[in-house]
Amino acid sequence: MALIECPMCAKKISSKAKSCPHCKADFENLTQGQLEARRDIANIKRQQGLMTQSFIAMLVFCSGVLMYFLGDHETYVWMPLAGQIIGVTGLVWYLSLRIFMVAQKVKSKPRQIG
């Protein structure tokens, strides 16, 4: 009995499982092609989720930069510090997402060839 990735939720399941115990996806009535199509859809959804997240992270970074450089620092004395914290948080978040996405692409390459 080998462990494979569920095509829907990517969690580890038994290769003999008729359905996924995590997301309840039913494999019994699906052909190999249908399973692959589902896996592709799940992959695209994951990628889209990551893209959305990195877009939000970029927005967070930009608003931090704006607060730092353009905020009314005399009225809001906390703004430069808040801008720094928010900007760094957004940048770290964005960069770690990009690294994660590149790592995912590298990982999924052999699967596409084979």
Would you tell me which residues interact with Zn ion (CB under 5 A)? 6, 8-9, 20, 22-23, 25
- Minimum CB separation of residue 37 from Zn ion in Å reads 15
- The smaller minimum CB distance to Zn ion, of residues 24 and 107, is found at 24
Buried b (16+ CB within 10 A) or exposed e, 30-40: eeeeeeeebbe
- The smaller minimum CB distance to Zn ion, of residues 23 and 82, is found at 23
Please list, in sequence order, all residues whose beta carbon lies within 8 angstroms of the beta carbon of residue 66, skipping any fewer than 6 positions away. 83
- The smaller minimum CB distance to Zn ion, of residues 6 and 67, is found at 6
Longest CA–CA separation in the chain, Å: 67
